[in-house]
Structure 1
């Protein structure tokens, strides 16, 4: 899979439209559409008994009143902590909206991205919701590097579509305009992400001994810090995250996007394959949020409306 063969987003204006929407996201951070605070991120306004979809949940979760969510809470604007330490972002807002339908709290618990599925398998979390791309490797529990099965796969409840982007220090693009231009360059990424997988795949196509030097970090903030300090030539992350970093870091003076986003694919909520009742309840709740119009409001708030889906599907990733 190279940048040349990667699937691009359907419209050339998508990137500019999303950046424009992200421009207002910061000012709306604490206003409207179910903002998440330490209290708000763990609660919904509906009781389990009165919520319209409560009966779809497993009895154990109805009784507990809580869905434990594994998440890498350092991936703005999808999930992050604001200046007061409150968990905010696209995923917490969508989770709160689902909570109203199901009558339970969605309790976000921080973890490194590459450890979230392990935490799910060990029952530390009920679900993982963290801008996680739904793909066949994760569905089947296959290591993308070796092609070998390394654990039980998961099911995904899909809720958004997003691609992958590259960004550099502002005014210092190092002639990078595509993934093919990264050969011989240093790239900062978050460990365990599609960006890392894509960089490894692209590096194999480099010629003349000029491979991509890939520097993986535990979270995206560390990756951004590495680029900002000059320790890498470029960084890559999901487009909503890259665009938000470009807009907000250093007041918009630190970074710039280069090239187009590629590999558009669905974000999914990961659920253990054995927990089909919870999976189906989440899908029903997400569909209800979409149909109510609250979904579109949340996506617009966080500059992600170009990734909207018309309905939630299970395991739609390829």
Structure 2
């Protein structure tokens, strides 16, 4: 039996059904109220269609009790291809509140009830895993990059148990061989770590309550996860790179995986990056970089994604 089965959360009761119900209702009401807004922005081709989801995901994280702590410096180049490990469906609002960009998603999601609407309104790029379609998808991704759209890629091809990183697949990273606007494409590895629940380390026993992998049923898993307390997730942005620095797509892929793995292991062990030593707690960047936006929201301002 694989670790992905052994580490699945037990079926015993954990968390509050009332909290699950409250969060599900708030998410549903908030999302349904805003779907028409984003639909209009997308249909009009408005630039705000790229910005609105950023604000939306920030509010979703608050509604669902998710605290995001950012580490490292995020790329300021547009476009940037963000290469991230994949742990859960919760990665979407978590990364969505940190990155103004669209996701590269597997084609099946385009047919999921409800979530397909969200993905399409986020202007996601849907790709099939068949190698025969890789060139078509690569061209579609290039067109988006030429429009200065940041894209978010999960190169593992599936979600993990959150305790390790699965092997990165290099096929979609072939997009890094292109040069949008005749410039090398910026690629930034990003580590996502589900680290604490109500301020206490998750550990291997509790992390599968949030990590969604294997043959777990999504509705049951989400109901259980949303009934728990306040989740802390560490998102670490690693040094941006380009393909030119490594000479080949496979070498770039290996570098990205190594950087993401190092960030995950560092966060799981409670260590901080060397350049974070002596600084404020991990969420200090959020406090300094995002507090102004949040204050503007509280004052009635609108923060665009």
TM-score higher than 0.5:
no
Q: Please state which structure has a larger fraction of its residues in helix.
A: 2
Relative to total residues, which structure has the larger strand share, 1 or 2? 1
Shorter-chain TM-score: what band? Answer: 0.3 to 0.5
After TM superposition, the score normalised by the length of structure 2 is 0.32
The TM-score with structure 1 as length reference comes to 0.31
